[in-house]
């Protein structure tokens, strides 16, 4: 089975900061990776599909890149509403694990 | 507009069987390439994918839980049911159902989740 790791697991940042989160897969998953944002007490919300395709309605400050085994989610200028936990998920083959998550907190 | 909503017991005892229902609208599970999956999240922990069922009745399960899970669909009621047997306190979690398309698609619409606590 494919395993996902995320780094860092916790990130403290200020409004306006550029933030980068990394997701690594244990095997080549091509570009079949999604990113989700989850706020406390809420269901996850899909941000990015196919490693770099922004979902409709997601602000352009979010971007994704990568292929193969290494992927990044970047927030170009962190906004107050972006403080949340971010998860990656591989979609290349079953099972469909999520990464362990990265919590972005206010500095 | 696609919506999903989970329902089920809030408290179950260890060793019991829990049945969770996902009632959805805005799409049909008779439509080709559509799927509904289940994902859970223990309090304060990460998301864990459990199972998915497709419009053609294809099913896939998390191998670590496969022996305890059954996923079924009732297209006339627009429902997907997840049955988990022999529950343990470690199964306490918020259980989400979500919509996806066949192929390499993510879960693009999620229900609000339902919290299930396993305790004697």
Reduced to 3 states, what is the DSSP secondary structure of residue A81?
helix
> Distance (Å, rounded) from C-alpha A96 to C-alpha B16?
27
Q: Is 90 exceeded by the pLDDT of residue B32?
A: no
Mean pLDDT in runs of 10 for chain A (107 residues)? 97 96 98 98 98 97 98 97 97 97 94
**DSSP tag of B12:** E
Q: What is the mean pLDDT of residues B97-107?
A: 94
Q: Is 90 exceeded by the pLDDT of residue B94?
A: yes
- How far off is chain A from B71, nearest CA to CA, in Å? 15
What are the strands of the beta sheet with B18-25, ordered from one edge? B3-7, B18-25, B79-84, B69-74
Residue A88: per-residue pLDDT:
98
**Phi and psi based region of residue A103 (left: phi greater than 0; alpha: psi -120 to 50; beta: remaining):** beta
Cross-chain Cβ contact B46/A98 below 8 Å: yes
Cross-chain Cβ contact A95/B62 below 8 Å: yes
Closest CA to A23 of A9, A42, A41: A9
| Chain B residue with Cα closest to A31 | B104
Residue B22: per-residue pLDDT:
98
Q: How sure is the predictor about B117, in pLDDT bands with cuts at 50, 70 and 90? A: very high
User: What does the pLDDT look like over B66-91, one tens digit per residue?
Assistant: 999 999 999 999 999 999 999 999 99
Closest CA to A49 of A37, A32, A62: A32
Residue A33: per-residue pLDDT:
98
Q: Is 90 exceeded by the pLDDT of residue B103?
A: no
Q: What is the mean pLDDT of chain B?
A: 97
Cross-chain Cβ contact A100/B46 below 8 Å: yes
Tokens matching residue B66: 């496969």
């Amino acid at each position: 089975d494919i395993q996902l790791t995320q780094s860092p697991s916790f990130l403290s940042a200020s409004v306006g900061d550029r933030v980068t989160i990394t997701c690594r897969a244990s095997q080549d998953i091509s570009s079949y990776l999604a990113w989700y944002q989850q706020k406390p007490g809420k269901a996850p919300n899909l941000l990015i599909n196919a490693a770099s395709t922004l979902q409709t309605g997601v602000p352009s400050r979010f971007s994704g890149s990568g292929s193969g085994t290494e992927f990044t989610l970047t927030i170009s200028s962190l906004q107050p509403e972006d403080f949340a936990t971010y998860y990656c998920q591989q979609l290349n083959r079953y099972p469909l694990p999520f990464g362990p998550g990265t919590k972005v907190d206010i500095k | 507009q696609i919506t999903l909503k989970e329902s089920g017991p809030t408290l179950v005892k260890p060793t019991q069987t829990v049945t969770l229902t996902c009632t959805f609208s805005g799409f049909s599970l008779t439509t080709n390439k559509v799927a509904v999956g289940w994902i859970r999240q223990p309090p304060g922990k990460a998301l864990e994918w459990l199972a998915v069922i497709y419009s053609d009745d294809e099913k896939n399960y998390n191998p670590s839980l496969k022996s305890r899970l059954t996923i079924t669909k009732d297209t006339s009621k627009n429902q997907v049911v997840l049955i988990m047997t022999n529950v343990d306190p470690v199964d306490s979690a918020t259980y989400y159902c979500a919509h996806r398309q066949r192929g390499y698609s993510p879960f693009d619409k999620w229900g609000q989740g339902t919290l299930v606590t396993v305790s004697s």
